Amino acid sequence: MRAFLPPQHGAWAMLVVPYLVGGLLAGWSWVSAPLLVAWIAGYLLSYYAFQAVKTRRPGRWRAQLTLYGAITVPLVTLVVAARPAVLWYAPAYALLLLVNAGYAARRQERALLNDLASVLLSCLMVGVAATVAGMDPLAPTWPIVGAFLACTGYFAGTAFYVKTMIRERGERRWRWWSVGYHAGALAGAVWLGPTLAVLFTWFLIRAWWLPRKALVPKQVGMIEIGNSLLLVLAILLTWG
């Protein structure tokens, strides 16, 4: 089973939170269920596709690509047939996936710009989930736009913060970049509303304080799971 699940534990919050937020704010439809399965299977398919690009050995990943392709393609077809408006998001997804593929080909998946492309790709699901519930993607509602900005602000911050906790631990430059980003994100959150401003104040504090602590990756991950849940709650209190 491990051969079919990527060791990217932090990715699951980025998959689930935007989908959940979009549905909770815009409502649910029967298309929401196949969208969720297609979204998760599509992530797994893309992960192993990028592994094939990175290693130049597609045959090594044939079983994973076959399985997740067989799940993703018919479900995406069903979602598009039921809600053709989701195709408005296709150019953005194609561009961001090309960015990811380019970094995979150069074996630089840990690059900051690649992380940020993945964040945007995931957070667009706020709009996709709302669109399958009936929202016009050309005239999105403010709660959906605000939720997209809040999700993007948080998950982009994790791209900086997690590096200061694991791969770039002890690097002062990365810590200051992380703190600087979170200060800017807090300014944006103030504009979004007081509840999110309070939460992003905590994100700024943790970006400054926790890199000084000797936390192991599992502890870092558990804290971010809690932060993801707080983000969902703050968004619902603001626009729900």
Neighbours of 96 (CB within 10 A): 19
pLDDT at 158: 96
pLDDT at 103: 96
pLDDT at 3: 76
Contact (CB, 8 A) for 18 and 124 = yes
> What is the helix (H) or strand (E) element at residue 199, kind and residue range?
helix 194-209
Amino acid at 86: V
pLDDT at 113: 95
139 secondary structure, DSSP code: S
pLDDT at 217: 87
pLDDT at 1: 66
Phi-psi label, residue 129: left if phi above 0, alpha if psi -120 to 50, beta otherwise: alpha
pLDDT per residue as tens digits for the range 103-113: 999 999 889 99
pLDDT at 8: 76
pLDDT beneath 70: ranges in the chain? 1
**Up-side HSE of residue 7: CA atoms within 13 Å toward CB?**
4
Amino acid at 133: A
What phi, psi does 125 have (nearest 5°)?
-65, -20
Amino acid at 17: V
Q: What is the pTM of this model?
A: 0.95
Residue 220 Cα distances to 33, 97, 186, 189, 224, angstroms: 31, 27, 21, 23, 6
What phi, psi does 110 have (nearest 5°)?
-85, 0
pLDDT at 127: 98
Q: Where are the domains of the chain?
A: 1-135, 141-240
Collapsed DSSP state (helix, strand, coil) of residue 6: coil
Alpha-carbon distance 163 to 170, whole Å? 10
Alpha-carbon distance 154 to 150, whole Å? 6
